[in-house]
Amino acid sequence: MKIIFDTQNIYYVPQYYPIYLELLLRGFEAEFVCYENKNSRAIFAKSLDAKQHWVSDEEEAQKYYSVEKPDWIFFGNKFEGLGLIHQFSNTAQLGHGIGPKPSYYRKSDTPMTIRFMEGLLRLNTIKKMYPDDKFIQVGYSKLDPLFDGSERGLDLEQFGLDSRKKTLLYAPTFNPSSIEAFPDDWPDDFKDCNVLIKPHTFSYTRKKYKAHREKFRKWDKFNNCYVANEKEFSLLPFLKTSDVLISEASSTLFEFIAMDKPVVVANFFKLKWSYRGIFKKRFKKRFMKDNVLYKDIGPHVSSYKEIKPIILNELKSPESYRERRRQYSIDHVGPTDGKVSKRIVDYLVSNRP
C-alpha 298/C-alpha 266 separation (Å) is 10
d(CA 303, CA 291): 20
Q: CA neighbours within 13 Å on the CB side: how many for 111?
A: 10
Q: C-alpha dihedral over 295, 299, 303, 309, to 10 degrees? A: 170
Total number of residues shown for the chain: 353
Helix or strand run (H / E) with residue 33: strand 29-35
If we measure between CA atoms, which residue out of 161, 158, 157 comes closest to residue 193?
A: 161
pLDDT tens-digit profile, the chain (353 residues):
999 999 998 889 999 999 999 999 999 999 999 998 877 777 777 778 899 999 999 999 999 999 999 999 999 999 988 999 999 999 999 988 887 777 788 888 889 999 999 999 999 999 999 999 999 999 999 999 999 999 999 999 999 999 999 999 999 987 778 888 999 999 999 999 999 999 988 777 788 889 899 999 999 999 999 999 888 888 999 999 999 999 987 789 999 999 999 999 998 876 554 555 554 565 555 555 443 447 889 999 999 999 999 999 999 999 999 999 999 999 999 999 999 999 999 999 999 87
C-alpha to C-alpha distance for 195 and 136, rounded to whole angstroms: 38
Name which of 141, 140, 170, 174 is nearest 287 in CA terms: 174
Contacts 24+ apart (CB under 8 A), 45-52: 46/231, 47/10, 47/13, 47/231, 47/232, 47/233, 48/10, 48/13, 50/17, 50/20
Q: Residue 12: CB partners within 8 Å, gap ≥ 6?
A: 5, 76, 96
pTM of the shown model: 0.90
